[in-house]
Structures are given as C-alpha cells and as structure tokens.
Amino acid sequence: MVETYTIEAPNGDTDTVELPDGLVDVLSEQDESPATVVAEVALLSFVQRAHSIVHHSEGEVPEDLVEISEKAESLFEERFGVSFAEATGHQH
C-alpha cells in the first residue's frame, strides 16, 4: 500500500509523490501531521542539494546559486531552529 501526497507550485502546477504506508509515520516526531513531515523532508532535500551544488562542485559557482543556497539554509534554520551545518555536522 502507498500514501499519495500532492504538491502544488506557486503557479498552480501540481504533482504527486507516492510513499510506502508507514514511512511518514516512522519519520514523524510527536504529533506532527503527515503533511508537515513531507514538507520538512522536502526542505531538507532541497537544502542538501543546493549545498552540494555550491560547496562541492568543481569550478566556479554562479553568484545567484550561492545566494539561493544561502537563502535555503536560512529557511532551514527558521524552520528547524538550528543551522544546516549544525543539523548535519557539515561545516563548509
């Protein structure tokens, strides 16, 4: 069995993601709603990918990508109350 979650973009586009039943419950803390768990995992994934592009790419990274990564890490800290570096033990 699977659970289906719908994601909506600011322009109204939507897509769905299917996850195995129980996976979201395993990742939830206390009384978090399933939607909150999925949103937090999505944010974590985006921040990790942006960080990787900026800090682990060979060669020069465009300044706009650096700014996007920094904003993503700021949003992470606002949401989780700790910096991305603290949460992952990953100092850049």
pLDDT in tens, 54-90: 988 887 888 899 999 999 999 999 999 999 999 988 6
9-46 pLDDT, tens digit each = 999 999 999 999 999 999 998 889 999 999 999 999 99
3-state secondary structure the chain: CEEEEEEECCCCCEEEEEEECCHHHHHCCCCCCHHHHHHHHHHHHHHHHHHHHHHHCCCCCCHHHHHHHHHHHHHHHHHHCCCHHHHHCCCC
